[in-house]
Amino acid sequence: MIQLQNISFQYAGAEVPVFKQFSLSLQPGRIYGLLGPNGSGKSTLLYIVMGLLHVQEGRVEVDGRDASRRERRLLQDLYIVPEEFELPAMTLKEYVDTYRPFYPHFSQEVLHQCLKEFDLPASLHTSRLSMGQKKKVLMAFALACGTRYLLMDEPSNGLDIASKKQFRKVIAMNMTDERTIIIATHQVHDVEQLLDHILILDQRRVLLDTAVEDITRQYTFEYRSPQAMDSSVLYAEPTLQGNAVITRRQEGAPETQVNLELLFNYITQSKP
């Protein structure tokens, strides 16, 4: 479990804090979608959990351990895929031989499986890859490390349409009841089929912290013609297919897939 207890964090020189007396608990065995407008603290939160940024107040614990201490045993269960990064110029074998000894649960089988799904050869050299291919290599390595916690910052940025589908597949294939994955993203349609829990941040607070199954149990996401709009509509946006709407789910009505962009706009625009 990840617990942030009354944390406050402010970058040096900034006029306002990113977080002030902020608390959040993340349960194991879930894929979290961490959403929010620019500046809401999504990336900062990931780096705080990793212990790469230290809070000025409060406490951050991962499985009961102080994240700021960055103990070896804890770091062996944490991995972050940042939005921007560089891979050292070397073969994949050299990269794996260099970094895999730190991760006791590393699986060569998972690595090869992910590379296969990403259409990448095991004989690759990082200096000959595009940025999108490098991201796929890093994600494959991250999943192969077998950490209990995998943090991903805008993982679908730089991926083409086919690669985004591959990304969703490798995440789903390697999810377990013991693993927690947190995906911070603006590309909501790339991940909405993956997530089982939604977190929406704004103005240093949590606007939504809800399981997807609870959302689909309470709400219906559908398209309606202008003539079908009535008082049951909680939120609507015009589209070429008609009005995309959120309504309260009626008893006996089938569940619908969450329209994550529509939900995000509804939550952020109706905030108190």
Domain ranges of the chain: 2-203, 214-269
pTM as predicted: 0.94
Give me the pLDDT at residue 223, please: 95
Stretch (H or E) spanning 247? strand 242-248
Give me the pLDDT at residue 264, please: 95
d(CA 40, CA 137): 29
d(CA 122, CA 93): 8
SS3 call for 113:
helix
Task: Please tell us whether the domain made up of 2-203 is placed in CATH 3.40.50.150.
Answer: no
Query: Taking 70 as the threshold, does the pLDDT of residue 243 lie above it?
Result: yes
Question: What tokens were used for 100?
Answer: 């895999």
- Return the closest-CA partner of residue 184 out of 171, 200, 173, 170: 200
Edge-to-edge strands, sheet with 233-239: 219-224, 242-248, 233-239
213-230 average pLDDT score: 94
Spatial CB neighbours of 34, under 8 Å, sequence gap ≥ 6: 42, 45, 46, 182, 183, 184, 185, 199, 201
Return the amino acid letter for 92.
Answer: L
Query: Taking 80 as the threshold, does the pLDDT of residue 204 lie above it?
Result: no
125 bridge partner residues? 91
218-230 average pLDDT score: 93
86-105 average pLDDT score: 97
Give me the pLDDT at residue 11, please: 95
134-156: per-residue pLDDT in tens?
A: 999 999 999 999 999 999 999 99
